[in-house]
């Protein structure tokens, strides 16, 4: 079945450092890929997404490129802020129909802490 693997956390960085959170997936066909973020005490919210190979999703200075050849969707940010401290989830949604249509499969989440 479908699966998503994220780099182990937690990740601790100083403000203005470069961030990479690795994400690889296993799926049939061409899934859509997402990064969701969960701030402390809140629900998840979409950070960015890409729906086909070579698409780049971007939002709030974060970027991720859908790489089909390496089945990856790594999250990057050039200069993190304290306010970026959160849990980041990589997820996929199958593009085929059927009973899995719309089902998000999540990675295990990566806790990011940014210090001043």
Partner 1 sequence: DTAVSQTPKYLVTQMGNDKSIKCEQNLGHDTMYWYKQDSKKFLKIMFSYNNKELIINETVPNRFSPKSPDKAHLNLHINSLELGDSAVYFCASSLGQQPSTDTQYFGPGTRLTVL
The residue from 11, 85, 106, 113 that contacts partner 1 (CB under 8 A) is 106
User: Is 85 near partner 1 (CB under 8 A)?
Assistant: no
* C-alpha triplet 11, 73, 71: angle, nearest 5°: 125
User: Is 60 near partner 1 (CB under 8 A)?
Assistant: no
Q: Are 33 and 91 a contacting pair, CB within 8 Å?
A: yes
| Among the residue ranges 16-24, 44-52, 63-71, 74-82, the one whose residues contact partner 1 (CB under 8 A) | 44-52
User: Is 7 near partner 1 (CB under 8 A)?
Assistant: no
First-to-final CA distance of the chain: 41
| 90 CB-side CA count, 13 A | 31
Least distance CB 33 / partner 1 (angstroms): 10
Least distance CB 68 / partner 1 (angstroms): 15
The residue from 25, 35, 49, 114 that contacts partner 1 (CB under 8 A) is 49
Single out the residue of 60, 18, 65 nearest to residue 39, CA to CA. Answer: 60
CA–CA separation, 15 and 115 (whole Å): 6
Please give the residue ranges that form the binding site for partner 1 (CB under 8 A): 31-32, 34, 36, 38, 41-46, 49, 51, 87, 89, 93-96, 99-106, 108-109, 111
């Amino acid at each position: 079945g479908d699966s998503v693997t994220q780099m182990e956390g937690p990740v601790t960085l100083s403000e203005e450092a470069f961030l990479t959170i690795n994400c690889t997936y296993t799926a049939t066909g061409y899934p859509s890929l997402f990064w969701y973020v969960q701030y402390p005490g809140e629900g998840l919210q979409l950070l960015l997404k890409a729906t086909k190979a070579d698409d780049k999703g971007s939002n709030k200075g974060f970027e991720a490129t859908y790489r089909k050849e390496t089945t990856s969707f790594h999250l990057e940010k050039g200069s993190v802020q304290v306010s970026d401290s959160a849990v980041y989830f990589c997820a996929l949604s199958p593009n085929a129909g059927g009973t899995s249509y719309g089902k998000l499969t999540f990675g295990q989440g990566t806790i990011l802490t940014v210090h001043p």
